[in-house]
Structure 1
Amino acid sequence: MTEPSTNDRIIVFDTTLRDGEQSPGASMSVTEKIRIAELLDAMNVDVIEAGFAIASEGDFEAVNAIAKRLRNSVVCSLARASRKDIDRAAEALQPAERKRIHTFIATSPLHMRVKLGLTPEQVHERVIESVSHARKYTDDVEWSCEDGSRSEPDFLFRCIESAIDAGATTINIPDTVGYSYPDEFADLIARIRNTVPNIDKAVISVHCHNDLGLAVANSLRAVQAGARQVECTINGIGERAGNAAFEELIMAIRTRNDVLPYQSRIDTTRIMQASRLVSAVTGFAVQNNKAIVGANAFAHESGIHQDGMLKDAQTYEIMRPEDIGLVRSNLVMGKHSGRHAFRTKLRELGYELGDNALNDAFVRFKALADKKKEVFDEDLVALVDDEIAGEDQPIKFVSLHLECGSGVTPTARLKVTVNGEERAAEATGCGPVDAIFIAIRQLVPHEATLSLFQIHAVTEGTDAQAEVTVRLEENGRTVNGQAAETDTMVASARAYLAALSKLLLKRQKTAPAALSA
């Protein structure tokens, strides 16, 4: 791919591991973050915001581990406008070949008065101090004006000018609460370009939230107005309604290059793989009608649509499925398929597993093939994602036996391991799921409440795998767990255990307030 010119080039800043993880229930382990970061690196993402180093030991460890591994992308850590935050970010980023410190402070009247308790002058001083301090560690410093879209323009322009004078090379304008309208946001970017005297010394970035469903539209209009960095997340995950979706931004630019004559370095053929991995790690299922990566994005049921597709796919498809890595092959998998065919199929689906992981996945595939008449690509994706998501769980499923039916008190006999120690319990409930979850509470006592229990079929047919999502809440912490099995009750137990494992890990993680940017 030819490297685009500076004027046409869009820098892609992915914040799945930082802002995306701030979605309620989306906490990730260090291993999971590394896996996602390595995939983003392979996709040629320009900047990966690996975390908020001062938030916890876990965040510091993740940023530091990613900084040691990546060779392609710039590794970034968020920091508030304080020396302690910036020092911690610099320490975590120290091993990185290419590093960025991203420091921020709120500039809107509401945030300065209510949240920070600071005057505009005090905020302006902190802008200069924080950027100057960050610049001591790296030449690549990004400054963000939190709630920038609701800031008073003259004060905002003054802060931007001072941040650049202090050494910021990227100026990020966040629509922190998703309030802006596309033309309004584009006008703000244009005014910054035309008003701030030294803006030519920095890249303008935008970070849009999706509270009104306008994050992607706002980002694209900002690019047309002169922004050259877009901040986004895989599947659009993030606080509240989420962030601008990575896949939507990239494919909009690629597909509508006639009106968006810009280029990125992104390898789009890995988009589906990234979407599936983030969904598996977070437990957040991708809605069927989600643009680009949803199950129905390339499905055609209407007779008129099907007729057009048979004649020419371009009648109803503006993108090719293979452009995002959605490839169907003639390699049919079943109970007689061997390990080589299994590995080949996984590669076609975008998975490259090590020998141990491949062996474990192959054993589960064989068990699945014995139960199902046909093993679809979706089954394999669910199986491998489930395997990946469960690798770091301190609580693991061993076995489940149920007694239930008409005139029978539902009884669950459950075995699990907790940090390698096997435990067993028997419990009754008002239904089989209730009995299972009561048994889990006996084995791993906790006070979390169940706020979501959701089941959907991975494929069609009565032998389809059930994918179960469980959401637990405890003391303001929210976690999701996901599992897929042909046995819905086993999937329910494993999903609950996945969520509970995340909750146990998250109890040790306390993030400072005001992480938004």
Structure 2
Amino acid sequence: MSVLLIHDTTLRDGEQGIGNTMSLFTKQAVLEQLDLLPLDFIELGFPASSDEDFNWIKSAARMPLRATPVVLLRPTLHDIRKTLKATEEFESIQYLMLGTGSELHQERKRRRSLGDLLHEIEDAITCLRTAGRENVAVILEDASRGSPAYIQNVSVALSGLGVRSVTLADTVGASTPGEIGALFSTVTSNGPPQVSWGVHCHDDLGLATANTLAAVVAGAQLAHVTVGGLGERAGNCPLEEIVAVLHYKDTLPGFAGRFDLKTLHDVAERIFALLGKPIPPSKPILGQHVFSTAAGIHQNGLLKDPDVYEYVKPGDFGRERRLIVNRLSGRSIVTSALPDVSDGVVDRFCSWLFELERDIDAIEISGYFDRFVKENVSGSDLQRTALRAEHS
């Protein structure tokens, strides 16, 4: 199994999420952050979609990138002309052409025969090659709902046109891991051997990461992702989740260790800050709460050995474990912070603390205990506590 290639589409598909529209300045800053990561492809945008995107693509040609830049276009004369004009200053760039991947889209959206749709792509590829642009890939929209026969026919035709990279999109997030795994098993086994396959998943059913991994296990060699899962509707497959799974599971030889996890986390935080959007607190890997726990049973185990309740390691991402004290926490977290305090005083302190009905970081326990002593503990209680400490 080869090392998985990563295609980031934060600047194009990620921007389609509500509230994610970026200015030229923001896109430049986001691109600088993305290029800190060992990405294989960075999709810059869709230059034929608007003057803003056209101007952004032209300006991006002046930004040196480690990854291969990519632009999206439809197989129409309008898109080809505008895209070639927008990308004329790029020395090397990939043109990702949008194709039709299901009978549903062919019949109800495009309303043309399959032969006509394939001729349209052939003419578009010819135009690009005439202009000296050879790096053309195709993404088939709604391919997860296309029949195996339909995907087979399209992929054979694309291979005959010299297309060597075809991405199958779960455009509406309709697949399950079993379904998308079966689709990729079929195309990688029966499709043209010259074609390498990519996967592009949306998260409408909360399965984008699982579906992407299922496709990879079944032979996909390229994964489309966005930072933090940014994207329209429920978003896309999150880059950091794919990287984390492949880091801990070591599913692909050579992938583990390719990304510096702390850098990945920091880049994601900075991109959300550039967008002016908070990271959802319980979002895997990135959220404020994902390395925090208030449950007493979990805290007791973590205090004994973090491996008991911690599989994803906060330190790997430059994060810290946080133990939160509230009424769910129990006594173990308190006694660990106050080892010299008598059981009776600890019990009274816990009752007082939990009645505050607030979440308190474990590092704040001593400060709250000082306040509790001033307000609630008599001299005799303190004397007994001191005597206990002397003999402990």
Please give the range of the TM-score, normalised by the shorter of the 2 chains. Answer: 0.7 to 0.9
Give the share of equivalent positions with the same residue, in percent: 32
C-alpha deviations, 1:180-208, integer Å up to 9, x for none? 11111111111111222x3x323210000
Output the CA distance in 1 between the equivalents of 2:196 and 2:84: 21
**Could you tell me which residue of structure 2 aligns to residue 307 of structure 1?**
300
Q: 1:41 to 1:218 in 2, by over 3 A?
A: same
Q: Specify the SS of the correspondent of 2:235.
A: coil
Alignment of 1:112-511 (within 5 A): 112-136=106-130, 137-196=132-191, 198=192, 200-257=193-250, 259=251, 261=253, 263=255, 265-326=258-319
Q: Specify the SS of the correspondent of 1:145.
A: strand
How far off is 1:273 after superposition?
2.0
User: Where has structure 1 moved over 6 Å in runs of 4 or more?
Assistant: none
**Could you tell me which residue of structure 1 aligns to residue 4 of structure 2?**
10
Q: 1:288 to 1:132 in 2, by over 3 A?
A: same
Q: Alignment length, in residue pairs?
A: 321
Determine if the alignment matches structure 1 residue 68 to structure 2 residue 73: no
Determine if the alignment matches structure 1 residue 77 to structure 2 residue 77: no
**Could you tell me which residue of structure 2 aligns to residue 394 of structure 1?**
none
Segments of 5+ residues of structure 2 without an aligned counterpart are 322-359, 362-392
How far off is 1:129 after superposition?
2.3
How far off is 1:260 after superposition?
5.0
Q: Specify the SS of the correspondent of 2:97.
A: strand
Q: Specify the SS of the correspondent of 2:48.
A: coil
Contact 1:288 1:295 in 2 (8 A): yes
CA-atom RMSD in angstroms:
2.1
Q: Specify the SS of the correspondent of 1:42.
A: coil
Q: Specify the SS of the correspondent of 2:293.
A: coil
Q: Specify the SS of the correspondent of 1:143.
A: strand
One-letter code aligned to 2:204: D
Output the CA distance in 2 between the equivalents of 1:173 and 1:214: 16
Output the CA distance in 2 between the equivalents of 1:54 and 1:86: 8
Q: Specify the SS of the correspondent of 1:306.
A: helix
Contact 2:284 2:290 in 1 (8 A): yes
Q: Specify the SS of the correspondent of 2:259.
A: coil
Q: 1:260 to 1:311 in 2, by over 3 A?
A: farther
Q: 1:33 to 1:304 in 2, by over 3 A?
A: same
Q: Specify the SS of the correspondent of 1:16.
A: coil
How far off is 1:223 after superposition?
0.2
Alignment of 1:20-39 (within 5 A): 20-39=14-33
Contact 1:70 1:96 in 2 (8 A): no
Q: Which has the higher helix share?
A: 2
**Could you tell me which residue of structure 2 aligns to residue 467 of structure 1?**
none
Contact 2:14 2:235 in 1 (8 A): yes
Contact 1:286 1:294 in 2 (8 A): yes
Q: Specify the SS of the correspondent of 1:201.
A: coil
Q: What is the aligned counterpart of 1:57 among 51, 54, 59? A: 51
**Could you tell me which residue of structure 2 aligns to residue 109 of structure 1?**
103
C-alpha deviations, 1:441-491, integer Å up to 9, x for none? xxxxxxxxxxxxxxxxxx99xxxxxxxxxxxxxxxxxxxxxxxxxxxxxxx
C-alpha deviations, 1:211-245, integer Å up to 9, x for none? 11111101000000000100011111111111111
Q: Specify the SS of the correspondent of 1:69.
A: coil
How far off is 1:32 after superposition?
0.8
Contact 2:8 2:41 in 1 (8 A): yes
One-letter code aligned to 1:138: R
TM-score norm. by structure 1 comes to: 0.59
How far off is 1:174 after superposition?
0.3
How far off is 1:167 after superposition?
2.5
Segments of 5+ residues of structure 1 without an aligned counterpart are 1-6, 329-458, 461-517
Output the CA distance in 2 between the equivalents of 1:26 and 1:239: 9
C-alpha deviations, 1:362-421, integer Å up to 9, x for none? xxxxxxxxxxxxxxxxxxxxxxxxxxxxxxxxxxxxxxxxxxxxxxxxxxxxxxxxxxxx
Output the CA distance in 2 between the equivalents of 1:227 and 1:14: 16
Q: 1:260 to 1:316 in 2, by over 3 A?
A: farther
Contact 2:2 2:252 in 1 (8 A): no
One-letter code aligned to 2:18: P
How far off is 1:45 after superposition?
1.1
C-alpha deviations, 1:221-280, integer Å up to 9, x for none? 0000000100011111111111111111111111111x5556174332222222222322
How far off is 1:126 after superposition?
1.8
Q: Which has the higher strand share?
A: 1
